[in-house]
Structure 1
Amino acid sequence: MNEHVRVAIVGGGPAGLTAAAALARHLGDGVLLIEREQETGGIPRHSDHLGYGIRDLHRFVSGPGYARRLTAAARAAGARLETGAMVTGWACERSLEVTSPRGRRVVHAGAVVLATGARERPRPARHIPGDRPDGVYTTGQLQQLVHLHHRDVGRRAVVVGAELVSWSAVRTLRAAGCRPVLMTTADAHATLRRAGRVAFGVPVLTGTRVAAVNGHGRVTSVDLEDLRTGRRHRVPCDTVVLTGDWIPEHELARTGGLDLDAGTRGPRVDTALATSRPGVFAAGNLLHPVDTADAAALDGRHVAGAVLAYLAGGAAGGADGGAGGVELRCAAPLRWIAPQLIRPGGPAPVRGRLQLWCATYRAFPRVVAVQDGRRVGAARLPWPAAPGRVFRVPFTLVAGADPAGGPVTVTLDR
């Protein structure tokens, strides 16, 4: 069975839903969104606390409420939302193989938007030694157990990580009647450490790692190691929540032969969010791990304009470092940069910002951009660069790059 649509969107989280709503206002039911879960909304759907919708909706709502709003907006605009369906592969350039309880078919699209998001690494991928008891969860597993299935998750928890999502895990534990006794992070400076301690009263140990998980049948304790001294101590607990350490859900991008970035592990894109395959775009946390839901939604809004321009006969895109583009790179202590390509005449990136990830804390970072040994931009920023959250830099920093020159490298001055 074959189906033809103007735009196929893979992934029903904030980026996909927002793109669907924006595109359907122009294309109506020619926009098909495909979501493997039984409901759209993504991670916010089972993150039942306030804090969503600030940047995109200009409202302060709960995760489930946010998911419902975005879903309703996409439907009202005329987009078709198909749930319980899995994109299993590519039939050709912009044709997707779709499998669902309704059968198998190929969806041929004028343009494809990949918005498959990111996931936290489970314990095996983090190489944490020790026993293999029950009671070890990622944030997503914890939130589904608590908010969707209303299950008991224990009484004393250690949270591994101190990012924004880690504080979301703390809220979920509290809602389940489980006391978070400690947060631990290998970073020397924890994101929102002081604010979180004031709000939640949870101690945060920086510069530490989980050396072992102990317990038979159920977690009984974890051994923590101080990375500066090597000393270890044991913390009694019956629950361990592994937060952060994200990786993009890039399987579909990889099997489609899209160029992937070694730093983000997501598709390489230009400022229009076009990938290396003409007519295939990417948005949201598939592009980099990991930003807030409303920031991903703004990606969806941004990519809609680029898709409409492509369908109207605009540039085909292709973030391959050539075809009239200048490659963007970063240097330590920066770990990755997105987007990775700027083109003459191309749009500014989302919100006029480049996105980066920093391995160390800098209170008032001075950012510099260098091309062919020449400094093309520099800026002292009033916001910090910190591990555990996206670091945004004004696009004007690289706007003066020579379109015929070599790669532009962005880094921090000492």
Structure 2
Amino acid sequence: MTHQPPLTTPDVLIIGGGPAGLTAAAELAGRRAGRVLVVDREQDAGGIPRHSDHTGYGLRDLRRVMTGPDYARHLVRQATRAGAEIRIRTMVTGWADEDTVDVTSPDGRYRIRPRAIVLATGARERPRTARRIPGDRPHGVYTTGQLQNLVHLHHQPVGKRAVIVGGELVSWSAAVTLREAGCTPALMVSQYPKAESYAAFNAAGRTVLRVPVATRTRVTRVIGKGRCQAVEIEHLDTGRRRTVACDTVVFTGDWIPDHELARSAGITLDEGTLGPLTDTALRTSRPGVFAAGNLLHPVDTADVAALDGRHVAQQVVHHLNGEDRPAEGVRLTADDPFRWVAPQILRPNDPAPARGRLLLWTDEFVRFPKVTVRQDGRTLARRTLAWPAAPGRVFRVPAGLLDDVSPTGGPVRIGLH
């Protein structure tokens, strides 16, 4: 006779204890949605902010600014005070059936069969191996997450001189961490004509952190046998190459969602984001399974991910109450220069997306973007927005541009014209 692992049956299971998952847990527990259980594979809940030891967190969701660790602790307290249960060092290893997951934890193996699931597993940076950058394989090569974990959580030293690959917001976060660890950020390398981060961050980074930025440039080789000694970089327009001495390389940004659980469940993934395909209520293709945060739009700020968690909570409550009867939807697609749009399905009678914004990712910088919405060969809306579309950060478009979309029409195309 086959022994069955023990079974626990909460009303809601949230997989991932970062800003999205913890905020969803606090909202659901506060709304008395039954027993709410959060599982997280790390030593502590809180997600990336746990080891991002600088200020700037909490502005949109909490209306105040705090450091990453303080923000993470606040979200944990908020969820537990509301009545949610958080289990750390607990990994969901797979699906026993469509409604049940297998779990491994310090307490052993068991199964969880909830009435609703929220996937909030977040995103990760592509490491050097995934970027296929050749050369030696020395010590001293990190992603931002690995660097911050090493410095802020384990208080370990890094090198003395670093090259940062990428010019996103997280790249400047890496520069701050390097400075705190006594390592000089000697150069930031970006393939784009200008660093991808907001202009204010770029200016502050150059003047306060004194980090020079090499634009239209890529790393072509890592050099060093035991410890990193240098990188070779190439200017994309001229082909000119040069060697930059460094003992530390930090690969930043270029995010991919942690979608393994969604993929193994057979949940439909979006070809652009590589995360689950969702509608504006954040339903996935599997009934009763929702998704939120940077699993859906890699990568946005922690407070926007948290607001996704707040948004999905109400939709989960509708599902628990038997009110969730989604109609047929219209597919939203991204035209050049956009790589993806999230969410990707618009259904009649569904809520507007979180914060009333569609999220898009662009591969080109456009200072005054004219956003165009088309369906079945017709232009439904066209609006010039006051904020730029820039690579390396999410571009937000008011969802009101979709007001004239026909629920019985063909796919909706969102582009710049």
Which category of TM-score, normalised to the shorter sequence, fits these structures?
over 0.9
Structure 1 segments, 4+ long, off by >4 Å, are none
Secondary structure, aligned partner of 1:370:
strand
In the alignment, structure 1 residue 24 sits paired with structure 2 residue 29? yes
Aligned counterpart for 2:187 among listed residues 167, 182, 189: 182
* Secondary structure in structure 1 of the residue aligned to 2:313: helix
- Among candidates 297, 304, 307, match of residue 288 of structure 1: 297
Q: 2: CA distance between counterparts of 1:27 and 1:34?
A: 19
Q: In structure 2, how many angstroms separate the alpha carbons of the residues matched to 1:369 and 1:92? A: 40
Amino acid at match of 2:99: R
* Structure 2 residue 85 is the aligned partner of structure 1 residue 83: no
Q: Distance in 1 between matches of 2:221 and 2:403?
A: 48
Where 1:254 maps in the other structure, the secondary structure is helix
Kept in 1, the 8 Å contact 2:280–2:350? The answer is yes
The reply on whether 1:14 has 2:23 as its aligned counterpart is no
RMSD: 1.0
- Which position in structure 1 is the counterpart of 2:387? 383
Q: Percent identity?
A: 61
Match of 1:333 in 2: 337
1:349 aligns with 2:353: yes
Q: Taking structure 1 as reference, are residues 398 and 28 closer, same or farther at Cα in structure 2, changes over 3 Å only?
A: closer
- Aligned-partner SS, 1:354: strand
**Cα distance between partner residues in 2 of 1:399 and 1:55:** 25
Give the 3-state SS of the residue equivalent to 1:347 in structure 2.
coil
For the residue of structure 1 that corresponds to 2:11, the secondary structure is strand
Give 1:399 deviation, angstroms. Answer: 1.8
1:66-120 CA-to-partner distances (Å, cap 9, x unmatched) read 0000000000000000111110111222211111121111111110000000001
Pairs within 5 Å for 1:29-178: 30-178=35-183
How far apart are 1:331 and its partner, in Å? 0.8
Looking at structure 2, the residues matched to 316 and 281 of structure 1 have their Cα atoms a distance apart, in angstroms, of: 14
Instruction: Indicate whether 1:365 and 2:374 are aligned.
Output: no
1:313 to 298, 301, 322: 322
Give matches, 1:189-228, under 5 Å.
189-190=194-195, 191-192=197-198, 193-228=202-237
Residue 364 of structure 1 aligns to a residue whose secondary structure is coil
TM superposition shift of 1:222: 0.7
- Partner-residue secondary structure (3-state), 2:9: strand
One-letter code aligned to 1:223:
E
Where in structure 2 are there 5+ consecutive unaligned residues? Answer: 1-5
**Alignment partners' CA distance in 1, 2:31 and 2:66:** 28
* Structure 2 letter corresponding to 1:257: G
Question: Pick from 258, 275, 279: which aligns with 1:266?
Answer: 275
Match of 1:400 in 2: 404
Supply the distance in 2 between the matched residues of 1:143 and 1:161 (Cα, whole angstroms).
16
Partner of 2:3: none
- 2:238 is paired with a residue of what secondary structure? coil
In the alignment, which residue of structure 2 is the partner of 1:275?
284
Q: Look up the match of 1:244.
A: 253
Q: Is the 8 Å Cα contact of residues 33 and 317 (structure 2) preserved in structure 1?
A: no
Once the 2 structures are TM-superposed, how far is the Cα of residue 198 of structure 1 from its aligned partner?
2.7
Contact 1:49 1:62 in 2 (8 A): yes
- CA apart distance, 1:365: 0.3
Judge conservation of contact 2:11–2:33 (CA < 8 Å) in 1.
no
Contact 1:365 1:381 in 2 (8 A): yes
In the alignment, what sits opposite 1:320? Answer: none
Counterpart amino acid of residue 166 in structure 1: S
Query: Which amino acid letter does the alignment assign opposite residue 358 of structure 2?
Result: L
The alpha-carbon deviation at position 316 of structure 1 amounts to 4.6
- Native 8 Å contact 2:188 2:214 kept in 1: yes
CA–CA distance in structure 1, aligned partners of residues 207 and 266 of structure 2: 47
When normalised by structure 1's length, the TM-score is: 0.97
Letter in 1 for 2:386: P
Which runs of no fewer than 5 residues in structure 1 stay unpaired?
318-322
Equivalent pair of 1:279/1:316 in contact (CA under 8 Å):
no
Task: Output the amino acid matched with 1:41.
Answer: G
Return the letter of the residue paired with 1:126: R
